[in-house]
Structure formats: C-alpha cells, structure tokens
C-alpha cells in the first residue's frame, strides 16, 4: 500500500502556488525523521532500484514519485 503524506504533498504544492489553505505541520513525524536522516524529495536521486520491476512509469516509494514530479 503506497501513499504520499499530506504534509509532504502540501509542501510540494506550495512551490507551484497551489494553496490547500492548510499550514505546514512543523512537528510532523515524517518530517522530523527525514531531517534526522537528511532525506527529502528535494534532494532524492532516483536510481534503477526505485522503478517497480524495472518499469519507468511506476515507482516504489513516495519520495521517488515526488522527485520524479519535481
């Protein structure tokens, strides 16, 4: 089961002036973990392992999906 966390898609949308009328959650658990591990869709580099069964139109995780959309 895959999903993109709302706070992360909200942050992504803000860069393109899409306003969901919701503030970013500063103490978001995933954001805290990402900062601790220094990972974000902004600096995520897609590799062959990110593609589902080698298919370049399906990705294995939300960070890869947001990085591809970026």
The answer to whether position 18 is within a domain reads yes
The answer to whether position 54 is within a domain reads yes
The residues, ordered by sequence, that sit 6+ positions from 69 with a Cβ below 8 Å of its Cβ are 12
Domain containing residue 49: 6-69
Angle between helices 6-14 and 29-37 (to 10 degrees): 70
Please give the full DSSP string across 12-48, using - where no structure is assigned.
HHHTTT---S----TT-HHHHHHHHHT--TTS----G
The answer to whether position 31 is within a domain reads yes
Per-residue pLDDT of the chain (70 residues; tens, 9 = 90+): 566 778 888 888 998 999 999 988 877 777 777 776 667 777 888 999 999 999 999 999 888 888 898 8
The answer to whether position 64 is within a domain reads yes
The answer to whether position 15 is within a domain reads yes
Single pTM value for the model: 0.52
**Number of domains the chain is built from:** 1
Task: Please compute Rg for the chain using Cα positions.
Answer: 13
């Amino acid at each position: 089961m895959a999903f993109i966390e709302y706070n992360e898609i909200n942050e992504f949308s803000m860069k393109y002036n899409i306003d969901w009328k919701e503030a970013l959650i500063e103490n978001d658990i995933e954001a805290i973990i990402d900062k601790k591990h220094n990972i974000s869709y902004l600096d995520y580099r897609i590799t062959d392992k990110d593609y589902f069964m080698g298919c370049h139109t399906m990705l294995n995780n939300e960070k890869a999906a947001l990085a591809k959309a970026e």
